[in-house]
Amino acid sequence: MSLRLAHTADLDPADLRAARALLHDAFDGDLTDADWEHGLGGVHALVHDGAGLAAHGSVVMRRARHRGAWLRVGYVEAVAVRADARRRGLGGQVMAALERIVDRAYDLGALGASDDGAQLYTARGWQRWPGRICGLSPDRGIVRLAEEEGHVFVWPGLTGALDPANELVFDWRDGDVL
């Protein structure tokens, strides 16, 4: 098995097709074009085995406002492990690589997790954000994203400076905001 880190610009079309196919399968076909786009433009962690791409994740830059300051957020996206390669630590390898990038390049790490994915993240030390979650809409200003509350996790590097009494306001994007 080999782990490779590469920016989206350094991935060839075959790498991108393999990553998208892996995500499509891992999410049972529930991967929109917007979901795919959210994982592009940053650094990808790819694990290959003898059968091809076994695991993938990426970290992209986002902005979030908290307590009046805008933070550079390393937002983890598109984490998946091929069905026949699960429960072998590959998700942990991908996350370790992405967490190192978050630690060295961003003010905050964040991600949105499904109930299934939450187990991996909490086991690695990610903390469920207990406060309000909002998005800065291009036409409606700050919009509360109540359906996302309880599904956003933050990386503990900066959590001491975060105050759950104050909302996290993320930059807007097409499709699911988080």
Residue 176 lies in a domain: no
Alpha carbons 55 and 167: distance in angstroms, whole number: 33
| pLDDT score, position 1 | 85
Successive 10-residue mean pLDDT values, the chain, 178 residues: 96 97 93 95 97 97 95 96 95 97 95 90 95 96 95 81 92 91
Residue 51, CB half-sphere, CA atoms under 13 Å: how many?
8
Number of domains, the chain: 1
Q: Do 173 and 33 form a contact (C-beta atoms < 8 A)?
A: no
| pLDDT score, position 115 | 85
Residue 178 lies in a domain: no
DSSP-assigned letter for residue 93: H
- CA 17 vs CA 11, 21, 44, 135, 163: distances in Å: 10, 6, 13, 30, 40
Q: Do 178 and 152 form a contact (C-beta atoms < 8 A)?
A: yes
| pLDDT score, position 78 | 96
Beta-carbon contacts of 159 under 8 Å, excluding residues fewer than 6 positions away, are 127
* Residue 128's CATH number: 3.40.630.30
Structure tokens at 41: 């433009």
Alpha carbons 52 and 79: distance in angstroms, whole number: 16
**Boundaries of domain holding 163:** 2-171
| pLDDT score, position 158 | 62
Angle formed at CA 53 by CA 16 and CA 43, multiple of 5 degrees:
50
Residue 46 lies in a domain: yes
Residue 144 lies in a domain: yes
